[in-house]
Amino acid sequence: MYKHDLVYLTEDASHDAVIELINEEAFGPGRFTRAAARIREQGPHDRSLSFICADDGETIASVRMTPVLAGSVNGHLLGPLAVRPSHKNKGIGRELVRIAVEAAKRKGSEAVILIGDPPYYGPLGFEKVAYNALAFPGPVDPNRVLVVPVAADTHARLPGSIVWRDDAALAADVEDDDLGDVVQITAIAV
């Protein structure tokens, strides 16, 4: 019997090609037409919250997390999650989801959102989002929009659009706003 030596690691650029191959195997060319792909096209995923699983040094699964603004919630979109056919039904996907969700919580994410099957993701802490609460950039079955709410008021703040979130731009806006306030106060004081 073959012994699996599974290791879960944070994704880095060296994994890009094999992750693309794994996603191609799992989802085919139609993966680019999905609403979640429209969000991912808006900006890069967060490598610090994206993970791979390797078996004896070979990358066999991955999950990615993309920063999003969902309504007024600063969250992360989970996916794609894909496992090579040779390693399916071994709990690898569930473990990747668990690792990614916990990492997002530690980083201060207010929610982890995905489009997926409630029977699979429900036991992992995902709940249904209110019907049509989130407007995606493309068609989505509202019954498959799920969330792990981290902030207490997540569900109340979700209604609205979901778009890619640029954390660097947000930080720069805060700095600019603070500087603008100082300049205005100085101008008034003079």
Is pLDDT of 177 > 90? no
**CA-based nearest residue to 7, from 47, 49, 45, 62:** 62
CA-CA distances (angstroms) from residue 8 to 22, 60, 163, 166, 178?
Answer: 16, 10, 28, 27, 40
Task: Name the band, by pLDDT with cuts 50, 70 and 90, for residue 163.
Answer: very high
Phi, psi of 6 (to 5 degrees): -85, 135
* pLDDT, average across residues 125-146: 95
Q: 35 falls in which pLDDT band (50, 70, 90)?
A: confident
pLDDT value, residue 188 = 28
- Of 65, 64, 51, nearest to 6 by C-alpha is 51
Helix or strand run (H / E) with residue 87: none
Of 62, 51, 59, 65, nearest to 10 (Cα)?
51
In tens, the pLDDT along 47-102 reads 999 999 999 999 999 999 999 999 999 999 998 999 999 899 999 999 999 999 99
The pLDDT confidence band at residue 179, using thresholds 50, 70 and 90, is: very low
Identify which has the larger pLDDT, 2 or 158: 158
Mean residue pLDDT across the chain: 85
CA–CA gap between residue 132 and residue 128 (Å, rounded): 11
What's 90's DSSP letter? S
